[in-house]
Amino acid sequence: MVKQIKIVPAILTEDPRELEAIVQEAETFADYAQFDFMDGRFVPSRSITYQDLMTIPIKFSWEAHLMVECPQDYLDNMRKAGAKKVVFHYESTSSPQSVISRARELGLELGLAINPETNVPSFLPLVDDVDSVLFLTVQPGFYGSKFIPEVLDKVVELRQSRPSIDRTKSSERR
């Protein structure tokens, strides 16, 4: 069996003018990308908006990594802008299940992002309801954050808790 590896560039910029150049460069080597969205509330930084994406042609499929408060408020617009998948932070909402339900109503694939300090038992009941789990090995929202190696232990813990989970459902991040 040949192991398939998919390289997914994460695009992060706060400059809408720079966005088109980044997208054009990514199109030369990728057929899928992740755009990072930050609201300045859930994380201290801000980034592009869905409106910025709607102003440029994008030839590849993409997902939205929502580092925002109230991710449910972003789902309709992300779908309208062309997202195939939305990855939201478990810690960003008091009702992760409502985010999951709304995303499914919109026909979006769904990922659950986990901050470095979050313990596995807290989000474990949601794992079967999402398409992927994204473990952040840095503090979200800070450019150039330091790698936190202890997060890798959480990947192992999730695998031990759910040994039948598909290997592609669990991933380490940056």
Tell me the per-residue pLDDT of 75-110, one tens digit each, with 9 for 90 and over: 999 999 999 999 999 999 999 999 999 999 999 999
Residue pair 89/140 in contact (Cβ under 8 Å)? The answer is yes
Residue position matching structure tokens 């102003």:
55
Burial-class residue 7 by CB neighbours within 10 Å (0-12, 13-18, 19+): exposed
Range of the domain at 45: 10-173
Residues 111-125 have pLDDT tens digits of 999 999 999 999 999
The answer to whether residue 4 sits within a structural domain is: no
Question: Would 94 be classed as within a structural domain?
Answer: yes
pLDDT score for 67: 98
- Residue ranges of the alpha helices (H) in 3-59? 16-26, 50-54
Tell me whether residue 97 is in a domain: yes
Residue 18 belongs to some domain of the structure: yes
CA distances (Å), origin 75, targets 65, 84, 113: 11, 11, 15
CATH number for the domain that contains residue 116: 3.20.20.70
**The whole model's pTM is what?**
0.90
On whether residue 126 sits in a domain, the answer given is yes
Three-state DSSP at 134 gives strand
The tally of domains found in the chain comes to: 1
Secondary structure (3-state) at 157: helix
| 18 contacts: CB under 8 Å, gap ≥ 6 | none
Residue 122 lies in a domain: yes
